[in-house]
Amino acid sequence: MVRKLLMGAGVLLLLLNAGVYFCPAPDADQLVRTASVILGLGVVLLASKISDHALAPIPAAIPTTPPPPPTPLVEPAPPQHPPARAEAEVVAFLALLQEQGRLVDFVREDVSSASDQQLGTAARVVHAGCRKVLEEYFEIDPLHTANEGDTVVLETGYDTAAHRLLGAVPEKPPYTGKLLHPGWVTRSVKLPRVTGTTAQRPWPVLAPAEVNLGGK
């Protein structure tokens, strides 16, 4: 309503001034001035009645439906990297020692309370199975052909990594001593193939879990 009155007052002022300009009369100039003063006062009074709130734009309606909750971030599972082939083959070989000689069972068993007879019986099983696996997958020879207790001489340039010197060692070779152990050296290796791995379990199984389905 107030805006309409202001617009009307402005139009009236334009008409009065246009009339004086296009149709000049002796008393018209004074009349237009008086009317302009009255209309100007009216515009000022009307403008003072308009508050900033009345002229402010009407805010958009606030939606009553709450926005959907944000989607939670799901951390991706870390990828399972397969082990190196050599390491996986070592585990597969250890699985053979377990399968044939129960080596893992024997080593992880607490034998502190077992008798010598019990240990001897278990050791026979472990020995037979592990020896079978070693003979099948490794070619192993002694480093020295001499018997234990024989005298051996180590000349200058001997293989230091293949010998362990005990007792009072002279400053320089040759060394003369008694053979306590001939040592072992591997001539060839035939590691087993790696099978049965999955993306969730990249390592070979050492020993499968055994489940008896035949009753108690």
pLDDT tens per residue across span 153-189: 999 999 999 999 999 999 999 999 999 999 999 999 9
Are both 172 and 192 inside the same structural domain? no
**DSSP assignments along 138-159, one per residue:** EEEEES--SPTT-EEEE-TT--
Task: Tell me what pLDDT residue 67 has.
Answer: 73
Lowest-confidence segment of 12-26, 110-124, 195-209 by average pLDDT: 12-26
Are both 24 and 105 inside the same structural domain? no
Between residues 146 and 50, the one the model is more confident about: 146
pTM higher than 0.75, yes or no? no
Between residues 51 and 71, the one the model is more confident about: 71
Within a domain: residue 33? yes
Within a domain: residue 215? no
Are both 12 and 29 inside the same structural domain? yes
Is residue 45 scored above 80 in pLDDT? Answer: no
Are both 90 and 129 inside the same structural domain? yes
Are both 193 and 160 inside the same structural domain? no
Within a domain: residue 31? yes
Where in the sequence is the domain holding 159, given as residue range(s)?
144-182
Are both 119 and 202 inside the same structural domain? yes
Within a domain: residue 37? yes
Are both 97 and 195 inside the same structural domain? yes
Within a domain: residue 62? no
Number of domain units in the chain: 3
Within a domain: residue 214? no
Within a domain: residue 211? no
Are both 133 and 170 inside the same structural domain? no
Are both 46 and 111 inside the same structural domain? no
Are both 170 and 202 inside the same structural domain? no
Are both 168 and 201 inside the same structural domain? no
Task: Tell me what pLDDT residue 164 has.
Answer: 96
Task: Tell me what pLDDT residue 60 has.
Answer: 56
pLDDT-derived band of residue 36, with 50, 70 and 90 as boundaries? low
pLDDT-derived band of residue 53, with 50, 70 and 90 as boundaries? very low
d(Cα 101, Cα 15) in Å, to the nearest integer?
A: 118
pLDDT-derived band of residue 193, with 50, 70 and 90 as boundaries? confident
CB atoms near residue 92 (< 10 Å)? 20
Are both 126 and 151 inside the same structural domain? no
d(Cα 206, Cα 93) in Å, to the nearest integer?
A: 9
- Contact between 163 and 140 under an 8 Å Cβ cutoff? The reply is no
Within a domain: residue 108? yes
For residue 174, say if its preceding peptide bond is cis, omega within 30 degrees of 0.
yes
* Mean of pLDDT over the chain: 80
The residue to which tokens 């009072």 are assigned = 168
The residue type at 44:
V
Lowest-confidence segment of 42-56, 113-127, 169-183 by average pLDDT: 42-56
